[in-house]
């Protein structure tokens, strides 16, 4: 039996627990958002320029919540065979 290729879209939700050295709270927020936006993240090491992710918690979302309010980037799990 031959294998088939599939296209998949999946949403996830998560929480990062972060350690960072900064001059003040505003500086810490700026560094965190800049690092996350550029994906400049060190998971294993802490240095002066990057944040350190202490813990990552996440879950896949199978179905988005019902109702009139939608969350950005949250959709039902989707899979289709590639052609």
pLDDT digits (tens, 9 = 90+) for 16-33: 888 888 899 999 999 888
Does 25 reside within a domain? yes
Q: Do the Cβ atoms of 16 and 35 come closer than 8 Å? A: no
Query: Cα(64)–Cα(2) distance, rounded to whole angstroms?
Result: 33
Does 35 reside within a domain? yes
Q: Pick from 36, 33, 16: which is nearest to 25 by CA? A: 33
Does 28 reside within a domain? yes
Note down pLDDT in tens along the chain; length 83 residues. 889 999 999 998 888 888 888 899 999 999 888 877 776 665 555 554 567 777 888 898 888 777 767 777 788 999 999 98
Does 34 reside within a domain? yes
Number of domains forming the structure of the chain: 1
Domain residue limits at 72: 6-81
Does 32 reside within a domain? yes
Does 1 reside within a domain? no
């Amino acid at each position: 039996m031959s294998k088939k290729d599939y296209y998949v879209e999946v949403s996830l939700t998560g929480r990062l627990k972060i350690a960072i050295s900064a001059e003040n709270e505003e500086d810490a927020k700026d560094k965190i958002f800049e690092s996350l936006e550029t994906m400049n993240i060190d998971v294993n090491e802490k240095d002066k320029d990057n944040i350190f992710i202490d813990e990552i918690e996440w879950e896949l979302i199978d179905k988005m919540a019902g109702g009139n309010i939608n969350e950005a980037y949250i959709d039902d799990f989707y899979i289709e065979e590639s052609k």
